[in-house]
Structure 1
């Protein structure tokens, strides 16, 4: 979709809890509006653990350039301030190419730091369009549980095993990712002959259930932060209710729900946003 006359001081944000379809929407928008994507997930900035961090695959990117994705060593720290610095540089590079930056991820503390930090003065330099991918909590909790099961089938245990360290620090770097600390007890005893297989299986199943529980807790926390940005800070956030997509089991029905509940309203919101003149105040 070609928007002649689009002012290149506009930035699109795709927000939402984990598992709501942010990646799919951001890629779809980027292909429509000549955009590039900046990752704002504080765990996906690290190299490795592609399964448990749910990094977008090369196939899923559909050729859309992605930035700040899998570029840091696993043990490095990456603060909100560093995220802001990298993101500002990336935004300017994208705009210089005549393209639109789309910032995507569930780390709302990073997004808040970028937009609200008085030293950055983000809103004085850019117009913002905030899209919020939302899914009914009971529906989303069921979905993320199934997604964890799928991650296990894809090799979650093997992936965590490859970087397992009995002395690992789970408070920094990529090891903070949900899925790594929960597997620690199981991986500690996995190779011990003194522990029977039944006990090992009990610990493995307990780890998987803990991953599901912690993912649901993360979903709730992310949702609460988005509501605070809207209700306490007054951000104008466009809620996209993707619940119908997750409630349809048939592929055809789910695709129709995606088109009607997600794509059509999102395209309209973003299209109108890109046509608007820059706001005179922020």
Structure 2
């Protein structure tokens, strides 16, 4: 750490707290990052120092109970810090981003009125982004659709919903796969409730004059907790093992039994894993194993299903962590930096700023995460300034270079959807769809595609293009 940065942290930590609270302006702190990186811990540490209160920004932690599968911080570890928007919703209820934004804004206003600091903590990044910027959401009414025909269409089979979306908004229909039921229904719902296609709303939100003044809060400091992904994978695997030891299966069985007895209602069926709590990683991965327990006593078969579920859960968690990193770099970071340019800021002062904190090593957590976050937050909330984000640690200089998504909503009219015919063959002829040139190029370079391409070539050369019986058996077993 160079002398200037070291002096800044020393000065920040040594500030007298009473003087800080007297000069502090209304502001907001957000903590983002991958699952399992320590966001909740940092939230507690900041809240204790800054007289802050925590607002949950994780879409799964809004549900009552189910503490293990949603990875809530235990009550005895919250150190009497108020936590809002956590553990209040029934499992069968849906909580939309519009609901979150409305509720969070009311809580933030109340926290500010009590001269406290709101600290948003969560891994649902579109929740965070929709809260921090005014024009990230589409302003549609919350009332139910009154037209009976429209209601029937929204609740119809996925292909019917998709065909209707193709008629009213072909741009969005070309973006989503027909079986992506949540997104397809959402796009169609926007049209049915507003009379304007979803794609037109998105284009309007990206007009320069709207984007230039969309930040909600005058001082917003974002901490991005980052860990080397290979190191994080091992940490996540260990956490999943602890979840199982702590009663993960009991929670999943609780959900399953209450669905079957009718105590929990699932509007789209208990096999639809795209709504509400059913999206939580762990439920769908172990569902075949728990179903088999009720039907079979074959220990070897059950153990195989259990192991497959465990591996699937770990793999899904790894993928989710990488998705979160991509979102932060492609969406959140880019938007922060664009706001800085629009406000004619110099990149390390102004209305919004994002700092990357290196959480790779747990041994250096206090120095690299806690102490740096506290010093930066105090200075930023008091003066609206802080150190150059690229100087905070060695990773920041590289990772704080935003990688704008080439398939951004701003170019929806140029979006192209592709079907991979090779991988479709090896997917029981269920279409394998990729969206946009960037995703298509990534798919063509993937190990899965190359493996399927090699197999197809072997079949064409040796089997006259027909799948041999041994492959059909293997595929069915998989």
TM-score, reference length from structure 2: 0.54
TM superposition shift of 1:217: 0.6
SS in 1 for 2:335: coil
CA distance in 2, matches of 1:8, 1:83: 25
Which residue does the alignment assign to 1:26? 43
Return the match for 1:92 from 85, 101, 109. 109
Match of 2:123 in 1: 106
1:237 to 331, 354, 364: 354
Aligned to 1:123, the other structure's residue is in SS state coil
What CA deviation, in whole Å up to 9, does each residue of 1:123-146 have, x standing for no partner? Answer: 354310000110001000111011
Gaps of 5+ in 2: 1-16, 138-212, 261-268, 338-352, 386-478
Compute the RMSD of aligned alpha carbons: 1.9
C-alpha contact (below 8 Å) 1:15/1:105 kept by paired residues? yes
Deviations 1:4-63 (A, max 9, x none): 324442000011100000000000010001000000001111112110111011111100
The aligned length equals 267
Q: Which has the bigger relative contact order, CA under 8 A and spacing at least 6?
A: 1
- CA-to-aligned-CA distance 1:209-255 (integer Å, 9 cap, x gap): 1110000011000011111235532343100001121xxxxxxxx2x
1:129 is matched with which residue? 221
**Alpha-carbon contact 1:139-1:243 (below 8 Å) kept:** yes
The CA distance in 2 between the partners of 1:13 and 1:73, in whole Å, is 26
User: Residue 119 of structure 2: SS of its match in structure 1?
Assistant: strand
Between stretches 266-275 and 30-39, larger displacement belongs to 266-275
**In 2, are the aligned partners of 1:8 and 1:100 still within 8 Å (CA)?**
no
**Native 8 Å contact 2:133 2:216 kept in 1:** no
Residues 114 and 122, structure 1, Cα contact 8 Å, conserved in 2: no
Structure 2 residue 240 is the aligned partner of structure 1 residue 148 = yes
Secondary structure in structure 2 of the residue aligned to 1:50: coil
Q: CA contact under 8 A between 1:133 and 1:241: conserved in structure 2?
A: yes
Instruction: Answer yes or no: is the 8 Å Cα contact 2:286–2:306 preserved in 1.
Output: yes
Question: Aligned residue for 1:36?
Answer: 53
* Unmatched segments (≥5 aa) in structure 1: 246-253
**C-alpha distance in 2 between matches for 1:185 and 1:70:** 27
Residue in 1 that maps onto 2:98: 81
SS in 1 for 2:118: strand
Sort the Cα spacing of 1:264 and 1:74 in 2 relative to 1 into closer, same or farther, 3 A.
Answer: same
How far 1:122 moved relative to its partner?
6.4
Larger radius of gyration: 2
Match of 2:279 in 1: 176
Distance across 2 between alignment mates of 1:125 and 1:142: 37
Distance apart, 1:205 and its partner CA: 1.1
Matched with 2:288 is: 185
Higher share in helix: 2
Distance (whole Å) between structure 1 residues aligned to residue 84 and residue 105 of structure 2: 12
The change in CA–CA distance for 1:150 and 1:8 in structure 2 (over 3 A counts) is same
- Aligned CA distance change for structure 1 residues 189 and 43 (closer, same or farther; 3 Å): same
Query: In the alignment, does 2:318 pair up with 1:216?
Result: yes
Native 8 Å contact 2:134 2:215 kept in 1: no
TM-superposed deviation, 1:119: 8.1
Aligned to 1:251: none
Q: Which runs of 4+ in 1 moved over 6 A?
A: 119-122
Corresponding residue for residue 265 of structure 1: 372
